[in-house]
Chains A and B, each alone.
Chain A
């Protein structure tokens, strides 16, 4: 059983511009939670606060609480580095390390923990299989990670995140740079992965959210407008603004 998350009164700023306003959201373990909303509403910022990546931007600031199990990530004395090892992240744009081979990309997180050689190879193979990339790359693990196609690169980034066995997986529009076939592959993966992980996925694509997410949260202008089971959000939204958005009247 994976850990869940609990976000309480979370606000975030870039300098003096507030982009997240008092977000309260429970994230159930072993479920897929989709974050939807128009461009610029704060989706990326939101997932970046969940692994404390937001704060690396100069002038960026956060208030509120994010619980991973019993631990508040923003409690004083919590080391962001140790938090990030427990929370995997896949970015909107594939970003494999260009100077590393496919193998080294997948092994990058493990290297940080000083895993011994044999277990390293096992773990790399396991995570590449989990990311459905193994069959395509098993005979050229020494090649540069940058030499793969966009969809393969994204799955390599997924394998890189999975290799360290995180408790939570954050995905920021993981399929936005991919063709329909690769997108479906990623969606299948997400459904498969929730058996072991708690997944939060940002998406612009409402069909995608409806297909893969158990829960959906709708953001607008930095506020969480509505949250609930995807089946309800997409069929019987309670808030007028949610309805306008999912029916395509704006955004």
Chain B
């Protein structure tokens, strides 16, 4: 049935308005979280907040220097596991046509993506914490790294598949080996997308808390040792937020603001990298 033109125009308007309304509704929680975090966290922010260590219980002041450094180190550790493994598996899936095995790997990868991060934490707890005799930065890094692998794998595979076959053929026809083709032609063409995927994966694990509870554990002191418990922003937020002290609660909001900003910046930079040179 064909409706009259004025009716269709009206319907079009109505649906457009409804969709805009839905968009606004979806954005309200996001912006209220951002605003609330900013409002509560801002009073805690000062230069010393970034450079000082936590004060002993009962004293006010102090900062989150150890948690910042800890999160930095944990991200470094996680990336050094998640990025190479994710890259290699992604390249394997996209470029080596593994057929049935590929389907299995892809399925397992999807399962891995869906595993609750606390389960990954438990796994690393029994694998590393129990065997090494204590909580450690290493265990925390491994747990976050495992969480990164499936995301990096997925995005790498997808970005490589977007590279046109004609480029691979051009390279092979020149007498390049498969390895040369991947390294010189396919990867360079996909690198902005792959970097974006890596940054989004980093942004995701930067805020992970559950798997760190029983791996990295947290630390009130400055430590960058791999075999010792280490502080991390999300752990610090957790400890401070549930404490009875006003000052610590404010600091929890401050740390949350720092974490959210970090994640936001990573996301924005990731988008910029991807859209550089008009892609």
Contacts and interface: CB of A to CB of B under 8 A. Distances in A.
Interface of A: 51, 53, 56, 58, 81-82, 84-89, 91, 93, 95-100, 108-109, 111-112, 157, 160-161, 164
A115 to B, nearest CB: 13
A160 to B, nearest CB: 7
Please name the 3 residue pairs, one residue from A and one from B, whose CB atoms are nearest each other, closest first: A85-B175, A99-B188, A89-B173
Contacts of A161: 173-174
B169 A53 contact: yes
A84 B170 contact: no
B174 A95 contact: no
B185 interface: yes
Nearest to A86: B175
A95 B167 CA distance: 6
Contacts of B97: 58
B189 A99 contact: yes
A91 B166 CA distance: 8
Interface string B158-186: 00000010111111111111001000110
B174 A109 contact: yes
A112 B177 CA distance: 9
A160 B180 CA distance: 16
Interface string B190-220: 0000000000000000000000000000000
B176 A112 contact: yes
Nearest to A109: B174
Contacts of B173: 51, 53, 84, 87-89, 91, 161
A157 B189 contact: no
B192 to A, nearest CB: 10
Nearest to A170: B173
Contacts of B170: 91, 95-97, 157, 160
A109 B172 contact: no
A163 B41 CA distance: 62
Contacts of A96: 170
Interface of B: 97, 164, 166-177, 180, 184-185, 188-189
Given A84-B174, A91-B166, 11 more contacts: A51-B173, A56-B172, A85-B174, A87-B173, A91-B169, A95-B167, A97-B185, A112-B174, A112-B175, A160-B170, A164-B175
A122 B221 CA distance: 62
B171 A108 contact: yes
A160 B172 CA distance: 13
Nearest to B192: A99
Nearest to B189: A99
A62 B54 CA distance: 71
A95 B184 CA distance: 15
A157 B173 CA distance: 11
Contacts of A85: 174-175
Contacts of A95: 164, 166-167, 169-170
A241 B184 CA distance: 46
A149 B234 CA distance: 52
B231 to A, nearest CB: 41
A81 B177 contact: yes
A18 B208 CA distance: 55
Contacts of A86: 175
Contacts of B176: 81, 108-109, 112
Contacts of B177: 81
A93 B175 contact: no
11 contacts: A51-B173, A53-B172, A56-B172, A84-B174, A95-B166, A96-B170, A97-B171, A97-B185, A108-B174, A109-B176, A112-B174
Given A99-B188, A99-B189, A160 B174 contact: yes
A82 B175 contact: yes
Contact of A109 (B164, B175, B188, B189): B175
A84 to B, nearest CB: 4
Contacts of B171: 97, 108
